[in-house]
Amino acid sequence: MEPMEDGIRVGHLLVATPQLEDPNFRRSVVLLVEHDGDGGTLGVVLNRPTEVPVDRVLPPWSDFVTGPAVVFQGGPVGLENALALARLPGEEEPLGWRALDGGAEVARVGLVDLEAPPDLLAAELLQLRVFAGYAGWSAGQLHAEVEDGSWYLVPAEAGDVFAADPDRLWQEVLRRQGGDLAFVSTFPEDPTLN
């Protein structure tokens, strides 16, 4: 998929700037999983683990989850619905899995059909994470938020989706960008205590 004119594209990350105070997105890292300039954008917050074990809500998938083995809050929309992202090897697109159109940055990361039997993918799963809800923007809304300075738009790496320490993901993604963004990664959680 070609990048959209505004630079927003599937497989990129939205990293909340320190100015973004919305509690749903404060210090969040969002993977863009769908983007249509005319229809809007859908993303999944990668660094909001909940206390809910996957085996409580999706027992058939719990053995395949990459730790921590909890459901992550993917965003404020559709919290009653679960979606999963998985990384697979090779170039095939097996039943029950659809690759993101994100290019090399998130090669072999895709959406899992949680209604499908886990056995369809079990032998191929490298990593799996389950999310409740998602983040959504109407056409033009995300572009305006990026322009207003609410988000940094940076390339994703497949490991971001399955970070072992999601609480550090915000800092790690910013630090690897270098320059000014690496400096932003040191911004205190509460600047008034500095």
Q: Where are the beta strands (DSSP E) in 6-76?
A: 12-16, 29-36, 40-45, 49-53, 70-73
What 8-state DSSP symbol labels residue 170?
Answer: H
Dist CA 114 CA 32 (whole Å): 19
| Span 163-181, pLDDT tens digits | 999 999 999 999 999 999 9
Q: Token pair of 146, please?
A: 């990026």
Confidence of residue 68 (pLDDT cuts 50, 70, 90): very high
Confidence of residue 6 (pLDDT cuts 50, 70, 90): confident
Confidence of residue 91 (pLDDT cuts 50, 70, 90): confident
Q: Token pair of 77, please?
A: 């929309």
pLDDT averaged over every residue in the chain: 91
Higher-confidence position of 158 and 139? 139
Ordered alpha helix ranges (H), the chain: 54-57, 119-122, 141-147, 158-161, 169-177, 179-184
Dist CA 131 CA 46 (whole Å): 9
Picking from 127, 35, 36, the residue whose alpha carbon sits closest to that of residue 84 is: 127
Confidence of residue 1 (pLDDT cuts 50, 70, 90): very low
User: Is the bond preceding 59 in cis, omega lying within 30 degrees of 0?
Assistant: no
Domains assigned to the chain:
12-193 (3.40.1740.10)
Res. 148: pLDDT tops 60:
yes
Long-range contacts at 119-124 (CB < 8 A, ≥ 24 apart): 120/94, 120/95, 120/96, 121/64, 121/86, 121/88, 121/94, 121/96, 121/97, 122/64, 124/88, 124/89, 124/90, 124/94
What 8-state DSSP symbol labels residue 68?
Answer: S
Least confident span in 50-54, 60-64, 103-107, 189-193: 189-193
pTM score, whole prediction: 0.93
**Residue that the structure tokens 């660094």 belong to:** 47
Average pLDDT (58-76) is 96
Average pLDDT (84-105) is 86
The whole-number pLDDT of residue 7 equals: 82
